[in-house]
Amino acid sequence: MTKEEAIQRIIDMDEEALEDLFFNEEFEELEEFLGDKDFMQKAMEKYPFAYNYITSDLSSNEELCLYFLRNCDDSLASNFEYIPSVLWNNSEFMSKIVKEFLASKGLSSYRFADVKEEYFDGFDFDEEHPEYKLREAWGNNSNWRCRKCGGDLYTDPNDKSLHATCSDCDW
C-alpha cells in the first residue's frame, strides 16, 4: 500500500471506524505510515486522538502537536498530557501554547485569573510567566518520570529553560 492509498483509506473511513481502527490497534496495514507527518495529520483531521499513535520520530514534531491541541477539544488545557516531554522543555513552544490559549479566550495578556479555574483546574500559574508554572506543575505530576531512573521530575521556576531535574538521581 502506498502512502497515497493509506491516506485515501483514512479519508474514506468515517470517524467511528477510524476511532475503532486506532483504539483497537488493528492497523497493521497502516502501521508503517504512523511515522509520516502527512498521514498522521490526515488521520487527526477525523480522529484527533490518532495523535497517541504517532511514532517516536514524530513525537517532537511541533506542527503535529499544535494541530492536535488545536483540534481535539475546546480547551488546550485538557490535552496538555499529550504534549511530549521534549516539547515541554521547549520554552518557545510552551509560550506559544499558552499565548494561543489566551488568544482563543479573547485575552491579550497573561490574565489567567479569568480562565484559570475553568480551564486549568489543578495547575498553579505565575501571571507573568504562566508557562513556567505550568511546566513546574506538570514536572511534579507523578505521571511524568525521569527517563534514566523513573524518579519524579521537578523544575526550578527561576530556570527559564524549563529544564526538568530528577528528584532521585539529579539527571
pLDDT digits (tens, 9 = 90+) for 107-129: 554 444 445 555 555 554 445 54
Does pLDDT of 142 surpass 80? no
Task: Give the residue numbers spanning the domain of 120.
Answer: 73-171
Q: What is the pTM of this model?
A: 0.47
Same domain? For 79 and 157 the reply is: yes
Can you give the pLDDT at residue 102? Answer: 64
pLDDT digits (tens, 9 = 90+) for 82-97: 677 667 667 677 767 7
Same domain? For 78 and 64 the reply is: no
C-alpha cell at 16: 467511528
Same domain? For 1 and 24 the reply is: yes
Q: How many domains does the chain have?
A: 2
- Of 35 and 41, the one with more pLDDT: 41
140 CB-side CA count, 13 A? 11
Contacts of 112 (CB under 8 A, 6+ apart): 102, 120, 125, 127, 130
